[in-house]
Amino acid sequence: MTVRTIKTNPREADAICGNTLSVIFRSEKEYVKPGDVIQFLCMKEKKPVTHKINSKGYVVTQVYDAMTAPIVKGYQAITFRAI
């Protein structure tokens, strides 16, 4: 289990906190695997802002890439749930 910090914007953070978004798309450069813990950092105009998502944790349930799902090569779809 690895704890990873992923940057997000206020609109995406609101959707995650409101349980309307449970899949995010990120670059494959950051290797994420099921079981990892995600902590989001809400950013606006390249500066961190206060948001309730900053204090929550999420566990990764599945990771899909171009080999396992119809996703553009170089990106991955990460599904997660609240801890």
User: Quick one: the chain helix, strand, coil %, rounded to 5?
Assistant: 15, 45, 40
Which CATH number is 3-82 given? 2.30.130.30
What residue spans define the domains of the chain? 3-82
Q: What is the model's pLDDT at position 37? A: 96
- 11 has a pLDDT exceeding 90: yes
- Convert the pLDDT of each residue in 17-73 to its tens digit: 998 999 999 999 888 999 999 999 999 999 999 999 999 999 999 999 989 899 999
Q: What is the model's pLDDT at position 48? A: 95
Task: Give the pairing of strands 75-82 and 23-27.
Answer: antiparallel
Q: In degrees rounded to 5, what are phi and psi of residue 17?
A: -65, -30
Q: What is the model's pLDDT at position 1? A: 79
Q: What is the model's pLDDT at position 12? A: 95
Q: What is the model's pLDDT at position 30? A: 85
